[in-house]
Amino acid sequence: MEESPGRYIVIEPMSSHEAYGIMENFVESLPEGGEKRLLEKALAWKKPFANFKDAVAEMGPLRQEWFSFHDERMVREIKDWLKYNEIDAELCIPTGDRGNE
């Protein structure tokens, strides 16, 4: 990096505020019901990230909906970042099982 400093660009991690917003948007997209209410509560409690992860892990099909929603939002963020930084790149998005997350 020291030899070619202009070749590299810093990628700042997503802020916790932005990551929280993705979870909030997911919850807002859900139909009214018990799962939505539980996730709303999880976001309102202390340690919302851990609470949300634990709650959605127990929600069967909704868990996969969350991962799909999250992945879609992350791809959009990456594409916006690349465009903003005028970087022409092709994204290679893995399609694997998210069973261990």
- List the one residue out of 59, 60, 43 whose CA is nearest residue 51: 43
Given a cut of 90, whether residue 1 has pLDDT beyond it is no
pLDDT digits (tens, 9 = 90+) for 44-89: 999 999 999 999 999 999 999 999 999 999 999 999 999 998 888 8
Given a cut of 80, whether residue 100 has pLDDT beyond it is no
Residue 66's CB: how many other CB atoms inside 10 A?
24
Q: Kindly indicate the confidence band of residue 91, based on its pLDDT and cuts at 50, 70 and 90.
A: confident
In contact, 27 and 40? CB cutoff 8 Å: yes
In contact, 99 and 67? CB cutoff 8 Å: no
Q: Is the pTM of this model over 0.75?
A: yes
Quickly tell me which residue has 């709303």 as its tokens. 40
pLDDT digits (tens, 9 = 90+) for 13-56: 999 999 999 999 999 999 999 999 999 999 999 999 999 999 99
User: Which residues are within 8 A (CB) of 91 and not within 5 positions of it... i.e. 6 or more apart?
Assistant: 75, 78, 79
| Spatial distance between the Cα atoms of 10 and 20, rounded to a whole number of angstroms | 22
